[in-house]
């Protein structure tokens, strides 16, 4: 199995999950934070995008914590339109996917640096899978909190597992 394609698919699933949650929300809801210590989905979008750009731009040749990244600024502000939010969101993912497209299996044993700490390429990529899947889960959770009874499930609806499993066996 091609590991890079597998990871690419995992990242695309993470992106898709978060987007399906965000599709259900207005810009006001995307900017909502449950309390002052919590992040809004907008903040998570800005952080995830900044993280992807920093880690994956010039991935094999420069430190993953770029000197021009302002991490603290990723946790401030809101967006005025959903298009603005999605433009930021997609800009980070584009950097990631372009980098993954350029990698080959021989690159997996190379060493890259994140905050001057050495990591094998495979290890550095898995670190990002974990990081982004946790934030995608936060996006889904915040969306569910906001929408409550109006939330459209992103997987098997509650109390319908048996129907789903039966349908799978009938195939």
Q: Is the pTM of this model over 0.85?
A: yes
Task: Count CA within 13 A, CB hemisphere, residue 117.
Answer: 7
pLDDT tens string 47-89:
999 999 999 999 999 999 999 999 988 999 899 999 999 999 9
pLDDT exceeding 90 applies to what percent of the chain? 80
The tokens of 24 are what?
A: 């259900």
Q: Which two tokens stand for residue 114?
A: 């994140």
Rounded CA-CA distance 163/27 in Å is 35
Q: With cut-offs at 50, 70 and 90, classify the pLDDT of residue 1.
A: low
Closest CA to 113 of 68, 67, 70, 62: 62
- What the chain holds in terms of domains, given with CATH numbers, is 3-170 (1.20.120.450)
């Amino acid at each position: 199995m091609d590991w890079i394609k597998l990871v690419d698919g995992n990242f695309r699933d993470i992106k898709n999950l978060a987007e399906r949650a965000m599709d259900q929300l207005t810009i006001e809801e995307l900017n909502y934070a449950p309390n002052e210590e919590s992040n809004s989905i907008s903040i998570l979008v800005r952080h995830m995008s900044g993280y992807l750009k920093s880690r994956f731009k010039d991935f094999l040749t420069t430190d993953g914590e770029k000197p021009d990244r302002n991490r603290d600024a990723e946790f401030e502000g809101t967006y005025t339109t959903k298009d603005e939010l999605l433009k930021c969101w997609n800009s980070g993912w584009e950097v990631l996917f372009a980098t993954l497209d350029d990698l080959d299996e021989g690159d997996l044993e190379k060493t890259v640096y994140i905050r001057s700490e050495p990591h094998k390429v495979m290890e550095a990529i898995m670190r990002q899978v974990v990081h982004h899947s946790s934030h995608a889960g936060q996006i889904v959770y915040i969306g569910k909190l906001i929408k409550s009874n109006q939330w459209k499930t992103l997987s098997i609806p509650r109390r319908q597992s048996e129907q789903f499993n039966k349908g799978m066996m009938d195939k």
